Amino acid sequence: MPTERERRFVGPRRGQLIFALFFVAVSILLLGQIGTETRWVAKTKLFAQPRFWPAVGLGGMVLLGGVHLYLLPWRRATRYDWWELRKWAQVLEFAIWFLAYVLLVPLIGYLPVTLVFVPLLAWRMGYRDRRMLGLSILFAVAVVVLFKGLLGVKIPGGAIYEYLPGALRSFFILYL
C-alpha cells in the first residue's frame, strides 16, 4: 500500500531509485579517483588548479545525487524499475556492435566488414525481406565509396590485404 508521500510524487516513478543509486555510486567512485586523475599545482591560484573544477563538479554530483536519493518517497525497487533498467541495458547491445565493427575493420578491411555489418544490423532491426537486405548492401557500398573514394577519409586497410598480390593489394588498401 503506497504511503501519502508516495501518492503525492509528481513525475515518472519507474527507474528513479535505480538511477539515483547508480548516479551516486558512480559519482563517489569518480570523486575517489580525483587524486590520481588530476593534480594540484604548487603556487597556482585556487580557481586555476587543474583539480579544483572537476572536484567541484563531482562534489556537486555526489551531494545533489544524494539529496535526490534522500528525497525519493520510496525505498524499494519494483518490477517496473527492473523493466526500465532492462530497457536502458538494451542500448549497450548497439555499443557492442559498434566496438566489434571498429575492432574488425583494421583486421578484415572497411568494405568487407561494412558489407557484413550493415545487413546484419538491418536484420537485427527487423528488416528481413530480400528487398531491404539488398538495399542495405547497396547502402554499405555507397558508404564505402563516399567515405573512402569521394571524401578521402583515411581508414586503415585490413591486415588480410597484405596477402594480396602487389597492385591488387595497393588498390584494396587505398579504395576498399
Query: pLDDT digits over 109-156, tens only?
Result: 888 999 999 999 999 999 999 999 999 999 999 999 898 888 888 888
Q: What are phi and psi of 49, to 5 degrees?
A: -65, 135
Query: pLDDT digits over 8-24, tens only?
Result: 766 667 788 898 999 99
**Packed helices 52-71 and 16-32: angle between N→C axes, nearest 10 degrees:** 150
Query: pLDDT digits over 33-68, tens only?
Result: 998 988 888 888 888 888 899 999 999 999 999 999
Band the pLDDT of 161: cuts 50, 70, 90.
confident
Tell me if residue 112 falls in helix, strand or coil: helix
Evaluate if pTM is beyond 0.85.
no
Query: For residue 126, what is its C-alpha cell?
Result: 527487423
CA distance 42 to 76: 47
Q: Which residue in 93, 170, 127 sits closest to 101, CA to CA?
A: 93
Query: pLDDT digits over 85-100, tens only?
Result: 999 899 899 999 999 9
**CB within 8 Å of 59: residues ≥ 6 apart:** 31
